[in-house]
Each structure stands twice: as C-alpha cells, then as structure tokens.
Structure 1
Amino acid sequence: MSFSVYTRGAGAAAGADANPIKVMIVDDSVVIRGLFSRWIDEDPELEVVATYRNGQLAVDNLERVAPDVVVLDIEMPVMDGLTALPLMLQKLPHTTIVMASTLTKRNASVSLKALSLGATDYVAKPETNSNVSGNDEFREELLAKLKGLGRIPKRRAEKRRSLGMRPMRAETSAGQQSASASSAAARFDPRAALQRAKQRAETEAPAYRTRGYGSVVPKILCIGSSTGGPQALLRMLGDAKGQLARVPTVITQHMPRTFTTILAEHLQKAIGRPAKEAEDGELLRNGTIYVAPGGLHLRVLSKNGVAVAELGEDEPINFCRPSVEPMFETVADVYGAAALAVMLTGMGADGAAGVEKLGAAGASIIAQDELSSVVWGMPGAAARTGMCSEILSLDQIGPKCARLLEGALR
C-alpha cells in the first residue's frame, strides 16, 4: 500500500489529549516513516494519521486525512516536497507544514525557499538513517516542533472568533451569489467589521507594560528569532535597509550549521547589504549584517575600544546553540542604552533574560506582536518582562527601526 493509517495503542492513549495533534508523514524512506511514526505515537499529544512515500500521494489524500501538521521530505520520487508544498497549501491553506531535509547546502537552500512558499518550519535530519534512529536530540526537536506548531491553526481560529472575525465561505454558484448579493451587502460591511475587530483587539488584548524608547541614538541593531524568523528577518531588514549602513547588525536565528550560511547569503541578496556568518574575533563594521553560525553562540565584546564578535561552542542555553541570551546580554554590556534590540517570532522563551538586561541598561527594545508572529513564544516572553519599548506588528518594526537609527528617539 502507498500509505498507512495508524490507530493509537493503549499505552499511548492513556492520559492523551482528547484531541491529539494529527500528523501526516511524507518521506520516501520506509525506515524514516516507521521511525517517525513510532516516536510520534509514543507521545500522548500526537497522533499519526497517515504516511506517504511521495508528494503526489500526500497531495491527493490531504483533504481526506486533514492533518494538523505535515512532516514533508524534500527529495522524493514522483513529486518532491518543494513541488508538493504549494499544492498542499492550495488545498488546505491553514495546514502547518514542517520541511525535513538532511544537512546539505542544497537542502538548506531548498528549505529556506520552502519557507518563502508557505512552509512553517523545518527540521534538519542527520545524514543517514542510522544516525537518525539513535539521535535523541533530533527526536526531541522533532516532537517539540510538532507539538508547538500543530495547534497553531486551531489557536488562530479561536483568536479570530474571539475578535468577532468570521471565516470566509466559498460561494456555491454564480446564480446563488447573484440572488443573495443585495441581502448579503445589507447584512455585512467588511470595513466596519474589520474596524470592530481592531477595536476589540485593542481593548481585549492583554496589556503588557512597556517602558518607552531609550534616550540614545542606537549604535547597534541586535535581533533574536526562531520559528518563522527567516521570512520575518527579510521583511523587517528590507523595510529598514535605508538606515542599516549606520550600524552593525547582529542576528541570532535558531538554525543548524549550513542553514545559517545560506540565510546570510539570502539576506545579502534580498537586502543589498553585506551579510555573512560572524567570525571569531572580527571587528563589527557599520553596514554589515552578522549571523550567528549554527552550533555556536555569538557574543559581542569590547577589545581596545572596538566591538568584536566572539564565537563559543559552550553548552546550549535554553536548549539552544546559538542562543539569543548571550548575544543580548553582551550587547547590553558593550553598548548599554545605545543598543536597539528586536525580538521576532519563535518558540520558547530564549532571549527573555537578555531583554531584561538590555532594558536595565536603558536600551530600546521592540517585540513582534502576537497576531503577526508565526509563534508568539520568544516575543511573548520578551513582552512579559515589561522591558520592551513597544510591541509592534511585523510591518511596523522595520520602519520604526529605520526612524530610530536615523535619530528619531520616539
């Protein structure tokens, strides 16, 4: 058979969520399909509903299976993952898709392209099946992402309902549309509904304490990001690129080796500014974007009165390496109130302690808001510190950074 449908065993069902996250696995390796299925079905919050050996089978059966999250391999016969991705999103636009690929330069580039086409995240598989099966770290990463991302469409639907925003309904026929047009127009004003939703969001959203912007023109821009980060970085840096020549930009994006190399290349091409992985001991120059290499923490130190990058392979922080914490904390030490920090979309709470230290030093700090974030873990944790200057949507962050960098202090 081309796919398998699994039922949960008694051990997995005990204490399970009444509505476990439904997972579809698409991979041409029978070993990987079996291994992922066993891992997932051992977790009471997850349930494998189908597996397929190529993208065409997954596309054909997507609506019938209706998964919450899809693990999609890149290299497969008949139809590869990159081809299947937009077809799947066309059928079920709110499906969460996690790309799975081995750590090669080509696959890293393809994975980033997949994110631009609508994939939510990726996992980097070890190079051989034997390395996958015995890799507890990879297993934990996969399961954490499936659980963290699998309920996003449901949570967003609940959020939209709480704001009074109704889902769109497809028209059944041109005749029905014509017959009901006048009565529908009388019942529904889209602009008024959107305005009511915005007003309700402003009044019902949790109030997070903010502290205003610092009194010093920023001399460095530092950014933390994770899930959803690559696309968010492209957007915000693209919006701010006219002023990026004034300062060095340092970025910690949760990514493995090779992926950060490709990310830097993509940023340089898209934004038109020099972008590279940071090198140990190098001087941080105005106008250059420095990305923390995968597997290494990036810190900023002062040596002989100039800021330099320091890379370290010390223990993970918040289960992350690179971690946002050491970058934010050392930027606070070196730049103090002359730092501008941004926390973008991402799972977990990495960087929150660094936000507190930056805030105590008088730095300006922006967190991405919940509605524009893929996952509001890291920016939400930053917001809850009470140290953020402002909480903004993604389309507001880049222009705001540009104004701050050119000297507008509010």
Structure 2
Amino acid sequence: MEETPTHSPYKVLIVDDSAIVRGLVTRMLAEDAEIDVVGSVKNGEEALAVMEDGGIEVVVLDIEMPVMDGLTALPKLLEIDPTVRVIMASTLTKRNADISFQAMTLGAVDYIPKPSSSKDLNVGEGFRAELLDKVKAWAEQRRKMLEVEHAAAAAQKAEASPTPPPSEPAPEKPARSEDETADSDGEDGPAGGKANAFRAEMSVEHQQLQKQGRIQRKRFTAELRPRPMQRQQPVQMRPMPQQPQHPAPGAQPASSSADGGHASAEKVASPAQESRAATPSRDPGRLIRDAAIAAGGQAKTAPKVAARSATPSQATRTAPQPKRPVAPPPQKSAAVRQARSGSAPAPAKRMATRGGISLLPEKRIAVDAIAIGSSTGGPQALFEVLRGLNGVRQPIFITQHMPATFTTILAEHITRLTGLKCQEAQNNMPIVGGQVYLAPGDYHMTVEGRGGGRHLMLNQNPPENFCRPSVDPMLRSLVASYGGNILTVILTGMGQDGMLGGRDVVNAGGMVVAQDEQTSVVWGMPGAAAHAGICSAVLPVGGIAAYVKKFAGGR
C-alpha cells in the first residue's frame, strides 16, 4: 500500500450462499485499496435490496443459492441498474459452465470459476488474482463507458446552447457571428463551464446512474444480432494536424486527440476526462501501451502539451513548430519499404499515424489460415466476429484464455450461435478448411505439418504470458506450418499475449488486425499489438469480420 489510489474505489457487491466463501472473497477484495466491498449477502433477494440503495458498480454473483438463485436474480439486478457489471461465479462443472454462458446471454459480462472447496479457495492465489483483475477491469470499463455517454450529452448541450430559443433576443446571434474569434472565446467560457459542471456532477459516485432509461447498457450478448459499432475507419484517418491551432488563453483545442484510433470519440470524451488526466491509467492494458510508446513511439500528448503551452507572449516561438511535421514523410517511406520487404519495421522508424500507433500497409496475401486470440470479454467479441465469417474456406484457430470445461461449453455455443462448426482441439486432429478449432483449457494448441498433412497438437508446456492456453505458441506454430499466409486477429483481453507471436506473423509476411479500444473490454492484448506497430488495421469489433473477409474471401 505504498500508493494510495487517486480515484474513488470501485463499489462491489458479493452474493453467495456460503458464509465461508463470502468472507474469503470479501477479504480478498477488501485488501485492495482500489476496491470497496459495500455488501456481502447470501441470496439474490437480499442482493436486490442492496442494489436499490444504488452505487454498485460490480456484482460477483453465485449461481446456486436458496430463495433466489443467480440466474433468476440477474435480470432483476439489471432492471434496477442497467449499467451494473455482473460477474457470474461458479464451480468448474459442465452444468455451471453452461449456466454461466446462459447468464452472459442475459446480460452478465463475465464469469469466474470458483475452486471446488473452501480450502482451495483460501489458498488459491490464481483465483484471487483473476478475481481482482476482472472486478477492476469491468468496473473501469463501466466508468469509461459512462464518461463517454456523459461527455456526449454535455457536447449536445453545448452544441444546442449557441442556438437561441425563440424567446431569446435576436441581437445575440448576430453579435456572435460577427466576430468568430471573440465569439468562440465567449462561448467556450460559459458553455465549457456548464459542461464541466454537468460532468463533475454526474461523475461523483455516479449518483445519477440509477435513472432507468437514462443510459443504455453497453454490452455484447450471445443472442444479439451484429449491431453497428463505432464506424471510424482507422486506416483512412488523416495524420494528426501538422500545426496545432492557437486558441485564446484557456481555450481547449477541439481537434486534438490523445488517441488517434478513436479520434471522433475522444473529441467528445476528452473534456470529461480532462480532470482525470493526471490519474494513472487503471486499465491493465495501458501499462503495456505506455511501455511500448516509451520504447519506440512519440508521446501521445506531445501535440497537446505544445498547443496548451503556447501563449500570446510566445508568438515568436511558433516558427519552429512546422519543423515537427517535416520529419515523418521520410519515416513513412522507410517504413513502407521495410514492410514490403517482408520484415516488420522497428517502432522508432515508423511514422506515428494515429496518436502513437503506426499501421503497416495492407497487402494481398494468399490467406490459408485465420488465427484469433482473446481473453477478458472475449466470448462476446468472438460470437460477433465469427457470425460474420460464415462461408470462409480457411480453418480458424482460436485461443481464448479460459479454464477447462468452460472451453467445451464455449465451443458448443460458437457452433450454435455462429453457424460455424467449432471443435475443441485434440491431439493429431486433422485440419479441415472452414472449421473452427478452439484451444482446450490448460493446454497450448499448436499446428504441425504442411499441406494436406497438417494436424493439431496439444501440450502442457509452461504457461506463456501467465496463460495456458496462450496465443503466442499457437501463432509461432502457424508461422512454421503456413509461413506468411496467415491473417491474425487480436481481440479484447488483459496483458500482451499475441503481440510477440503477431510479430512473427508479420515478419513472415502475414497480417495482424486488432480490436480498437472503444469496443474492447480491456485494451491490453490488442493495445499491445497496436502499439508494437505490427497491425495493418485497428477496428471496432463490428468491422473485423468484413475486414477479414476482404482478404480471406468467402462465399
């Protein structure tokens, strides 16, 4: 506890009929300064009473309980607060795994397998680490989503405010339109103040989040049809402005974006997040992204700092600013030449096209295999991506961080919900085009052989990236078998699994596409790949299937 969290603790409710389990789980969470366990109850009915008081961000919900079980309580909890994140907790049985997946179709966001006995629970360091990671990740994801919603509402108010209602005096509008510079300064002052006050009021303990219908829950469920997502076209995004605008003192540059991958979203969200700018990132994936930027990319906030530090008295310093954009063109051509030669250019050599993320040029490859890696939030993302891959002729290999038994259920749900035949991998299983192969829990899945003799192999080699199954060994084996004819997709998840294997894919001549931050539950794995400079595209989850089909074909 050397560092005190600078943000308010995440509010968590524990629901389990076992007093021993409740006590142990409560203690595990309460030991972390970033978490506040606001309640610990023994059934769903008591959980509903606690939820009525408001303020709960995450519920850890048991399945089998007297009075009201978890599956019955789940929709009632979401009815009280559609934004609450519910994590199902169950022992590792096939029946409970199946119920957990049913719960995810009803609105639960994740699951966590409980050890089969209280003794195992007490000494289960792995369970504790997974519990803390998932509670924090989902609570933080909820806060980010709400910040975007609040900022969007504030922006709409700000946009509406310059237009005077019929009752307002007419002269005000001409006065504003005559002098745009003075007008924008005047508008930013009052409008910005109102917007900031609105956001501050809405963000304190999220007191307004309990209003039904005010904020819609952002989630993926297995039964949902593919829905329109953020439609930014990352590859077509223009580079960051070569010369920052110079607003009046105190005015905020409207076009600056800390993350080019979500330029339009952050134009709205950045004012609401400004007060949190000094707060260290609580997204586990951002640690990897920041490390990658420090190792090989420009600081994402450099243009913002330069713009804010400029004052009227420093007008003489504006001349050197055009020198900054002059350097990237040679870097871009060098990066393109290196990419075309088949090797991934070093991050320091690339042009930072979007807030520190550089994209490799797309290339036409003969795609013989599709590989997908995912972790936290992965099942929902997998369902959405795979629905759009019906008709592909290539085999699809998936490594999802998930324990045994749960992978069996996941394979069944993929088959039922996507129309693609999915199987858990087995030793020496021959590979057939158009089928999906899922790495079983606790085993690394690899591919051996070439041509028609390719087959799957499983092993229990040491975990990589703290995971087994792991994405990296799967990708290495695919490169050895298919060479560069691989299209790899990195979906939502903690850590950086898939980044090193993805680099091998790119070095061999293949391509990598990552899920964007806006639609990721945790932008760890895809963020690591994006900031390593190995991606040809960073896309919302709803656009990944179409991108894959563009290169892999399909009927």
Structure 1 unaligned segments of length 5 or more: list them.
1-11, 170-180, 184-193
Structure 2 unaligned segments of length 5 or more: list them.
158-164, 168-230, 233-253, 256-261, 271-353
Contact 1:227 1:375 in 2 (8 A): yes
Matched with 1:380 is 527
Alpha-carbon offset, residue 350 of structure 1: 1.3
Distance 2:411 2:452 in 1: 27
Match of 2:411 among 254, 258, 264: 264
1:211 lines up with 2:360 in the alignment = yes
Aligned pair in 2 of structure 1 residues 84, 281: CA closer, same or farther (>3 Å)?
A: same
- 1:395-406 matches, within 5 Å, as 395-406=542-553
Letter aligned with residue 437 of structure 2:
Y
Contact 1:301 1:334 in 2 (8 A): yes
Per-residue Cα deviation, 1:1-27 (whole angstroms, up to 9, x for no partner): xxxxxxxxxxx7983555222211000
What is the aligned-residue RMSD (CA, Å)?
2.8
- 1:9-408 matches, within 5 Å, as 15-160=4-149, 164-166=152-154, 200-201=264-265, 206-243=355-392, 246-302=393-449, 306-406=453-553
SS of residue in 2 equivalent to 1:141 = helix
Which shifted more, 122-131 or 60-69? 60-69
Letter aligned with residue 218 of structure 1:
V
Aligned pair in 2 of structure 1 residues 59, 212: CA closer, same or farther (>3 Å)?
A: farther
Alpha-carbon offset, residue 65 of structure 1: 4.5
Letter aligned with residue 268 of structure 1:
T
Alpha-carbon offset, residue 212 of structure 1: 2.7
SS of residue in 2 equivalent to 1:106 = helix
Distance 1:182 1:399 in 2: 47
Contact 1:279 1:309 in 2 (8 A): yes
Alpha-carbon offset, residue 337 of structure 1: 2.1
Per-residue Cα deviation, 1:334-382 (whole angstroms, up to 9, x for no partner): 2232101111111222111111111111212111111111221111111
Contact 2:489 2:514 in 1 (8 A): yes
Distance 1:199 1:334 in 2: 38
Aligned pair in 2 of structure 1 residues 305, 279: CA closer, same or farther (>3 Å)?
A: same
Distance 2:57 2:150 in 1: 19
Letter aligned with residue 478 of structure 2:
V
* Overall identity of the aligned pairs, in %: 43
Letter aligned with residue 310 of structure 1:
M
**Aligned residue pairs: how many?**
374
SS of residue in 2 equivalent to 1:230 = helix
Aligned pair in 2 of structure 1 residues 381, 160: CA closer, same or farther (>3 Å)?
A: farther
Alpha-carbon offset, residue 120 of structure 1: 1.8
Per-residue Cα deviation, 1:185-239 (whole angstroms, up to 9, x for no partner): xxxxxxxxx9999863387873521113333221111100111111111111111
SS of residue in 2 equivalent to 1:240 = coil
Which shifted more, 148-157 or 288-297? 148-157
Letter aligned with residue 232 of structure 1:
A
Which shifted more, 135-144 or 96-105? 135-144
Aligned pair in 2 of structure 1 residues 34, 365: CA closer, same or farther (>3 Å)?
A: same
Which shifted more, 97-106 or 145-154? 145-154
Contact 1:213 1:363 in 2 (8 A): no
Which shifted more, 146-155 or 261-270? 146-155
TM-score, normalization: structure 2? Answer: 0.63
Distance 2:554 2:533 in 1: 24
Where is the strand percentage greater, Structure 1 or Structure 2? 1
Contact 2:499 2:529 in 1 (8 A): yes
Aligned pair in 2 of structure 1 residues 211, 130: CA closer, same or farther (>3 Å)?
A: same
Aligned pair in 2 of structure 1 residues 327, 168: CA closer, same or farther (>3 Å)?
A: farther
Distance 2:87 2:57 in 1: 11
Matched with 1:176 is none
Distance 1:360 1:182 in 2: 63
Distance 1:262 1:370 in 2: 27
Distance 2:63 2:56 in 1: 19
Contact 2:57 2:85 in 1 (8 A): yes
Contact 1:241 1:402 in 2 (8 A): no
Distance 2:357 2:264 in 1: 16
Alpha-carbon offset, residue 167 of structure 1: 9.6
SS of residue in 2 equivalent to 1:237 = helix
SS of residue in 1 equivalent to 2:49 = helix
Distance 1:25 1:138 in 2: 15
